[in-house]
Amino acid sequence: MRLTLILVVLSFFFSSLVAQDHQWFYEIHEEYREASLEDRFFTHSDVEPLIVNLKDHPDFEVNLEGESVQGRSIYLVKWGSGPKKVYLWTQMHGNEPTATMAVADIFNFLASDENEEIKEELAEKVTLLFLPMVNPDGAEVYKRRNALDVDLNRDAQRLQSPESVILKDVRDRYNPDFGFNLHDQSLYYGAGFSGKPVAIAFLAPAYNQEREVNKQRLNAMKLIAQLNEIVQEYAPGKVAKFSDAFEPRAFGDNMQRWGTSTILIESGGYRDDPEKQYLRKLHFTILMSSFFSIADGDFKNYSREAYESIPANRISIFDLVIRNAEVELPEGTFVLDLGYRDHIVFGDGHVGSPEIGPRLVDVGDLSTFGAYTEYDASGFTLKQGEIWPEVFKSSEELANSIWAERLQEGYTYFRLDGPIPESLQRIMPFVVLGPEEERPEFPMLGKNAALLMEKQGEYRYIVANGRMHNLVLFR
């Protein structure tokens, strides 16, 4: 009887930290959301006051570590005094801001006067070291590289940028147990062959060409296995594993090599979340869960196999895909899938791919690809639209014309003598041509044709500007 009581009491103590599980963090996130960061386009001047404010808080230590190439301050924010050191750096690529938002929310959680008991317990077990917005000059103009046009993630060896020196110097001073390398990736990554956009991608980077696994890397794999399980609850099937090809100049790979269990987290894409506010919430949830898992050693219950079973990160997502459309061409009739994207994809799939406007980027069997918007066009015939012969003198004149009626008659191209406002082009269910411009003929990769979808002799939809437009709406 007494023994049972002792066991119950003991298990209560041992489970008290674990009890703060991911669901709780997910639920409380809104309370601690830093309201001043409301979209992706904030800069150093928005983030700096949030950091400097922490100087007056007794639980935080804020050190000015140095300056970026253009003289913007980079700070180390320290919280807790436990033996397990956790180092997190965000936005070494200036246009990858999601984790910076999540870290600002974590600061709010840690700085609040609520949940004191839980935080005290955590602070005894871990020391958190945050280096937010490592590349403030890049963030200023929303670009990947720093003011020298150096990709900081290829500067871990040569250390020519002051930002890289700071990042490495903090690691060397504290020799952290865990490191979180926080990025955003292309919206066009999918999880394996599932066709699902990747919300969060992970990697335990390799520390050598052979991609060997030592204790540090194994611990990173185990923690990722746990985090995968968490994200699966909120974004089922939308987790992937980044390629572990060794990059000798990258920070993640070198951090792992220098002895810190390093975890790469990439925020990807999520339907109807262009400003990545839901991904920010997921980020908050998994980072907070990580701190508690590291504090308790909970990650050790997970396996390398569970990590290895996470599907590969693969460029396989479109903005729009139209499946099984019958296309009539002079050469015959073919059943084709059409994939459209608004942005170019760089070879390595990083973000910052320029937006070039909607284009047809793939044709054929796209069954292993997915999209943010999908349409099954089985039973529809896809046809080229006609050009309305009149040339409009201004976009206002075109907008005020009876173009909606013309659409029903099969005209999907309108001529305009003058500049075409991008906003007009983007939202309209037709394509605007110059006075002499040729119509893009289908099939033509890289082009934006305005195609009609016909069923039983009736035009039902127009595919133009990378969107599907229901003709009923224009009757």
Q: Determine the Cα–Cα distance for residues 375 and 451; give it in Å rounded to an integer.
A: 14
10 Å CB burial of residue 366 (0-12, 13-18, 19+) is buried
Task: Indicate the residue among 349 and 370 with the shorter CB distance to Zn ion.
Answer: 349
- Judge residue 29's burial from the number of C-beta atoms within 10 Å of its C-beta, 0-12 exposed, 13-18 middle, 19 or more buried: buried
- From the list 49-57, 88-96, 196-204, 395-403, the region that binds Zn ion by CB under 5 A is 88-96
When computed from its CA atoms, the radius of gyration of the chain, rounded to whole angstroms, is 26
The nearest distance, CB 266 to Zn ion, in angstroms, is: 7
Tell me if the bond preceding 443 is cis, omega within 30° of 0: yes
> Which secondary-structure segment (H or E) carries 286?
helix 277-296
Residue among 180 and 388 whose Cβ is closer to Zn ion: 180
Residue (22 or 350) nearer to Zn ion, CB: 350
User: Least distance from C-beta 93 to Zn ion, angstroms?
Assistant: 4
93 near Zn ion, rule: CB under 5 A: yes
Binding residues among 96-115 for Zn ion as defined by CB under 5 A: 96
In contact, 200 and 187? CB cutoff 8 Å: no
Token reading at 265: 């987290």
CB of 35 to Zn ion, least distance (A): 26
Closer CB to Zn ion, 153 or 260, in the complex: 153
Contacts of 193 (CB under 8 A, 6+ apart): 311, 314, 316, 368
For Zn ion, which is the closer residue by CB, 183 or 217? Answer: 183
For the segment 314-353, give every residue that binds Zn ion (CB under 5 A). none
Which two tokens mark 365? 């069997």
Which of 182-190, 205-213, 321-329, 403-411 is the region at the interface with Zn ion (rule: CB under 5 A)? 182-190
Instruction: Give the residue at shortest CB distance from Zn ion.
Output: 183
- Residue from 85, 145, 171, 183 that binds Zn ion (CB under 5 A)? 183
What's the gap between Cα 153 and its chain centre?
17
Among the candidate windows 75-83, 108-116, 177-185, 251-259, which touches Zn ion by CB under 5 A? 177-185
Give min distance, CB of 104 to Zn ion, in A.
19
Provide the token pair at 71: 């003289």
Q: Which stretch binds Zn ion (CB under 5 A): 95-103, 163-171, 229-237, 358-366?
A: 95-103
In the chain, the amino acid numbered 369 is F
Token pair 């990083």 in the structure block, residue: 350
Minimum CB distance to Zn ion, residue 312 (Å):
18
Binding site for Zn ion (CB under 5 A): 93, 96, 183
